[in-house]
């Protein structure tokens, strides 16, 4: 009898608590597994949706440059070129700008400056894409049309790869700068002091000590910026001109993959294979972005054991 009572108490007390603990673990695990499944589902869903256009005999969807949805021709190659050109221009502008800014913030600026600049960079990172686009239309496009274009002797409407590159460069700047600063701050203080103590200037220290030490992390920061730039939609779409075809220079308009998807979602159910072609565009974007992310994270992971810079950077990535 007494045993029975103890047993019941045990069931109602301790066991329930243990049960709840276990249930919570299972729930969380289930959600975590869902996240894994989600990734697979996105890739699989886009792949199966784009199969019809890939297997379509009428046109080679990947390397053809014939984009005539009404005739069933869906060559997305010019759009791939559009994405690559805007992104590359953006990174040519952003990488030096951000690295110099990061060197200043990390090696020269005092605590106060660094904190205030950090706040402003955070604000910049929070500005919605469509507002960058608005700024692009009101400021960058006229700048390119009236100042930069004539300067190079090229008449341009302003809606061009260069405009998109400038807007994109500013959009990815926050992530590149904040990661780079983290990476450089992660170089051990002793190394910096040893170099300065030998009489090297700060510039020499940056060149000989900080940059070699944090090279991989900086590469990862730029690569992550790259993958962000590839996926940007609204802002790019508003300033790039959206003219299909191969651009001849940076003052020509282009038509990136993201803009293609966003501009045509309305009509995509009206023509056969059209939705499939747009899903192929999304699949290509997904693939490229995943590859870039894998590279960046691989680089950071390999650094993590070796130096503190890598550790700091991967922490910064987690937070942002």
Partner 1 sequence: MGFAKLADTALMRIGQLCLFLMLLSLLLIVGIVVLRGAPALTAEMITQTPKGGFYLGGGGGVLNAIVGSLCLAFGAVILAMVAALPIAVVLQKEYSRGAEWARIARFALDLLWGIPSIVYGAFGFLLMVWLGWGMSLGAGIVTLALVILPVMVRTMEEVLASIPRSVMEPSFALGATRLETISMAITRQALPALSVACLLAFGRAIGDAASVLFTAGYTDYIPGSLSEPAASLPLAVFFQLGSPGKEVQDRAYASALILLAVVLAITLLARRLGGRFEKSIIR
State yes or no: residue 170 binds partner 1 (CB under 8 A).
Answer: yes
State yes or no: residue 41 binds partner 1 (CB under 8 A).
Answer: yes
Task: State in angstroms the smallest separation of the CB of 239 from partner 1.
Answer: 11
Burial of 56 (C-beta count, 10 Å sphere; 0-12/13-18/19+):
middle
**CA–CA distance, 144 with 157 (Å, rounded to integer):** 8
Nearest-CA neighbor of 67 among 56, 78, 55, 52? 78
Question: What are the b/e assignments for 133-163, b being 16+ CB within 10 Å?
Answer: bebbbeebbebbbeebbeeeeeebebbbbbb
Nearest-CA neighbor of 175 among 133, 112, 108, 231? 231
Q: Are 216 and 302 in contact (CB under 8 A)?
A: yes
Q: Are 209 and 247 in contact (CB under 8 A)?
A: no
Nearest-CA neighbor of 137 among 231, 20, 242, 28? 242
Binding mask 118-157 for partner 1 (x = CB under 8 A): -xxxxxx-xxxxxxxxxx-xxx------------------
Task: State in angstroms the smallest separation of the CB of 248 from partner 1.
Answer: 27
State yes or no: residue 51 binds partner 1 (CB under 8 A).
Answer: no
**Which listed range, 61-69, 209-217, 239-247, 312-320, lies at the site for partner 1 (CB under 8 A)?**
312-320
Task: State in angstroms the smallest separation of the CB of 245 from partner 1.
Answer: 22
State yes or no: residue 292 binds partner 1 (CB under 8 A).
Answer: yes
Task: State in angstroms the smallest separation of the CB of 107 from partner 1.
Answer: 8
Question: Between residues 201 and 270, which has the closer beta carbon with respect to partner 1?
Answer: 201
The structure tokens listed for 318 are: 């987690």
Within 214-253, which residues bind partner 1 (CB under 8 A)?
224, 227-228, 230-234, 238
The residues pairing with 254 across neighbouring beta strands, listed in sequence order, are: 241
- Beta strand segments in the chain, E: 67-68, 73-74
Given 1, 2, 6, 35, the residue binding partner 1 (CB under 8 A): 35
Within 79-118, which residues bind partner 1 (CB under 8 A)?
96-98, 100-105, 108, 117
Angle at 68 between CA 64 and CA 71, to 5 degrees: 110
Q: Are 128 and 139 in contact (CB under 8 A)?
A: no
State yes or no: residue 270 binds partner 1 (CB under 8 A).
Answer: no
Question: Between residues 54 and 137, which has the closer beta carbon with respect to partner 1?
Answer: 137
State yes or no: residue 20 binds partner 1 (CB under 8 A).
Answer: yes
State yes or no: residue 308 binds partner 1 (CB under 8 A).
Answer: no
Task: State in angstroms the smallest separation of the CB of 1 from partner 1.
Answer: 27
Question: Between residues 13 and 249, which has the closer beta carbon with respect to partner 1?
Answer: 13
Burial of 285 (C-beta count, 10 Å sphere; 0-12/13-18/19+):
buried
Question: Between residues 98 and 161, which has the closer beta carbon with respect to partner 1?
Answer: 98
Task: State in angstroms the smallest separation of the CB of 232 from partner 1.
Answer: 7
Question: Between residues 226 and 251, which has the closer beta carbon with respect to partner 1?
Answer: 226
**Which listed range, 59-67, 213-221, 243-251, 257-265, lies at the site for partner 1 (CB under 8 A)?**
257-265
- Beta strand segments in 179-285, E: none
**Which listed range, 59-67, 69-77, 154-162, 291-299, lies at the site for partner 1 (CB under 8 A)?**
291-299
State yes or no: residue 24 binds partner 1 (CB under 8 A).
Answer: yes
């Amino acid at each position: 009898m007494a045993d029975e009572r103890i047993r019941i108490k045990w069931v109602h007390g301790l066991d329930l608590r243990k049960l709840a603990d276990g249930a919570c673990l299972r729930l969380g695990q289930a959600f975590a597994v869902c996240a894994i499944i989600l990734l697979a589902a996105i890739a699989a869903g886009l792949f199966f949706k784009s199969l019809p256009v890939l297997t379509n005999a009428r046109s080679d969807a990947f390397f053809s440059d014939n984009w005539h949805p009404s005739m069933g021709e869906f060559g997305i190659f010019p759009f791939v070129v559009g994405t690559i050109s805007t992104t590359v221009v953006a990174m040519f502008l952003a990488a030096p700008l951000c690295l110099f800014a990061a060197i200043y913030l990390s090696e020269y600026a005092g605590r106060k400056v660094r904190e205030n600049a950090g706040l402003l960079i955070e604000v910049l990172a929070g500005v919605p894409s469509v507002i960058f686009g608005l700024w692009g239309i009101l400021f960058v496009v006229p700048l390119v049309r009236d100042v930069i274009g004539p300067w190079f002797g090229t008449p341009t409407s302003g809606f061009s790869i260069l405009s998109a590159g400038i807007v994109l460069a500013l959009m990815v700047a926050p992530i590149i700068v904040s990661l780079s600063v983290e990476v450089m701050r992660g170089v051990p203080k002793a190394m910096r002091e040893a170099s300065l103590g030998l009489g090297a200037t700060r510039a020499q220290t940056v060149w000989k000590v900080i940059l070699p030490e944090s090279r991989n992390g900086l590469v990862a920061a730029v690569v992550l910026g790259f993958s962000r730039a590839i996926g940007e939609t609204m802002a790019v779409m508003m300033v790039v001109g959206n003219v299909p075809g191969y651009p001849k220079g940076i003052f020509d308009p282009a038509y990136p993959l993201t803009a293609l998807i966003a501009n045509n979602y309305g009509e995509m159910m009206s023509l056969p294979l059209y939705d499939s072609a747009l899903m192929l565009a999304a699949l290509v974007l997904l693939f490229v972005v995943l590859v870039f992310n894998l590279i960046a994270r691989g680089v950071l992971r390999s650094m993590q054991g070796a130096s503190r810079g890598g550790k700091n950077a991967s922490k910064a990535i987690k937070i942002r």
